[in-house]
Amino acid sequence: MTSMKKSTQLKRLIQSPKTEYMMEAHNGLSAKIVEEAGFKGIWASGLSISASMGVRDNNEASWTQVLEVLEFMSDATRIPILLDGDTGYGNFNNARRLVKKLEQRQIAGVCIEDKQFPKTNSFIRGEAQPLAPIDEFCGKIKAMKDTQQDEDFVVVARVEAFIAGWGMEEMLKRAEAYRQAGADAILAHSKRSDMTEIESFVKEWSGRLPVMIVPTKYYRTPKNRFHELGIDMVIWANHNLRASVSAMQNISKRLYQEESLIQIENCVSPLEEIFRLQNAEELLSAEDKYLAALSVEKESE
Ligand code: SPV
Ligand code: MG
């Protein structure tokens, strides 16, 4: 699986008959941690990447700044990355240029949502967010699909109709239009604390394209519900960010109060673990191999 192109890995994962899972990462380190945990794919979350940069999930970070983060994530891992590409950072033209730049960095796919640029996170005043006109969003999907060089590059269309307070009819109308425009999968989002909206959508949709979900708000849903409904992909969208925030707040507060490392050392990852995650070992052996000539030269001076 790992020698397969990342785009092909992602495509197969989304199309697999099983319910699959993806975990959020927001930099090279967290991407590597997701891979080591056993996940077969990474969600490059817009919320998490922006939060880790200290800015809001409102396209305050430019798309090239996001691209730089992705480059580190992609270099650090062999499993595929699906970028949460917000609205595609502009119109069809910006979105197709994004596809070109993502392919150059072996990013396996991108998910775009049918809102307006600059977007706001779906859990902040969702109803106040205007949706993109259907035709315009379809043109964007088409432009992205026409631009990709690699036939397995994945474009996911995220439907925000439930988030914006529309009903099932709008949800289905949009999902169907995006399918016809060439999307490879539909991400159906909901901010309800139960799965009822998603459940009714999935039943009506009846597998016309794979369905991805983000159960951040309906976190009480047991995993067998995902399986029973035939959800293709479940995304844990922000849990590495949130885990790291709690850990960093805790350790910062304690060190500020204690002014000593005595009680701290055993509460944090050993330095060796950081070196291992960075693959420091590889550089040591590369130095032995490639700096050897230099040390011989030095010795003979
Ligand atoms: C993200 O992870 O940035 C997402 C999912 O888009 S959500 O925050 O639920 O909108
Ligand atoms: Mg997002």
The yes-or-no verdict on residue 1 having pLDDT over 50 is no
Q: What single DSSP character describes residue 206?
A: T
The yes-or-no verdict on residue 25 having pLDDT over 70 is yes
The yes-or-no verdict on residue 236 having pLDDT over 50 is yes
Ligand 1 center to 254 CA (angstroms): 31
**Which ligand 1 atom is at minimum distance from the Cα of 191?**
9
Q: Where in the chain is the domain with CATH 3.20.20.60?
A: 6-237
Element at 211 (helix H, strand E)? strand 211-213
Whether 238 lines ligand 1, by a CB cut-off of 6 Å, is yes
Which structure tokens are listed for 14? 């989304």
**Which ligand 1 atom is at minimum distance from the Cα of 121?**
10
Strands, E assignment, 237-299 = none
Angstrom distance (rounded) from CA 260 to CA 241? 27
Catalytic residue among 57, 84, 114, 232: 57
At 255-272, the pLDDT tens digits run 999 999 999 999 999 999
- Quick one: which ligand is closest to 187's CA? 1
| Longest alpha-carbon distance in the chain | 80
Angstrom distance (rounded) from CA 163 to CA 110? 20
Average pLDDT over residues 132-146: 98
Average model confidence (pLDDT) across the chain = 96
Q: What are residue 13's phi and psi, to 5 degrees? A: -65, -45
Res 298: pLDDT: 59
Whether 213 lines ligand 1, by a CB cut-off of 6 Å, is no
Tokens 């991407």 — which residue? Answer: 31
Number of helices followed by number of strands (H, E) in the chain: 13, 8
Res 128: pLDDT: 85
Res 106: pLDDT: 98
Ligand 1 center to 120 CA (angstroms): 10
Confidence of residue 301 (pLDDT cuts 50, 70, 90): low
Residue nearest to atom 2 of ligand 1 (CA): 45
Q: Which candidate, 1, 211, 7, 222, places its Cα nearest to that of 108?
A: 7
Q: Which candidate, 215, 242, 216, places its Cα nearest to that of 52?
A: 242
This prediction has a pTM of: 0.96
Residue 179's SS3 state is helix
Confidence of residue 2 (pLDDT cuts 50, 70, 90): low
Average pLDDT over residues 239-257: 98
- Most informative mutation of 26, 48, 119, 238 for ligand 1 (most atoms within 8 A of CB): 238
The class level of CATH for 6-237 reads alpha beta
At 147-203, the pLDDT tens digits run 999 999 999 999 999 999 999 999 999 999 999 999 999 999 999 999 999 999 999
**Percentage of the chain modeled with pLDDT above 90:** 94
User: Exposure string (b/e) for 58-93, b if CB count within 10 Å is 16 or more?
Assistant: ebebebeebbebbbebbebbebbbbbbbbbbbbebe
Helix, strand, coil distribution of the chain in percent, nearest 5:
50, 10, 35
Angstrom distance (rounded) from CA 151 to CA 160? 26
Angstrom distance (rounded) from CA 171 to CA 197? 10
Which structure tokens are listed for 29? 């380190």
Average pLDDT over residues 16-40: 98
Confidence of residue 299 (pLDDT cuts 50, 70, 90): low
Ligand 1 center to 4 CA (angstroms): 28
Ligand 1 center to 29 CA (angstroms): 20
Q: Which candidate, 168, 230, 169, 153, places its Cα nearest to that of 200?
A: 168
| 57 is a catalytic site residue | yes
271-278 and 280-290 are packed helices; what angle lies between their axes, rounded to 10 degrees?
Answer: 60
Angstrom distance (rounded) from CA 27 to CA 57? 16
- Quick one: which ligand is closest to 26's CA? 1
Whether 47 lines ligand 1, by a CB cut-off of 6 Å, is yes
Confidence of residue 293 (pLDDT cuts 50, 70, 90): low
- Quick one: which ligand is closest to 43's CA? 1
| Neighbouring-strand partners of residue 223 | none
Whether 86 lines ligand 1, by a CB cut-off of 6 Å, is no
Angstrom distance (rounded) from CA 216 to CA 223? 13
Whether 73 lines ligand 1, by a CB cut-off of 6 Å, is no
Res 211: pLDDT: 98
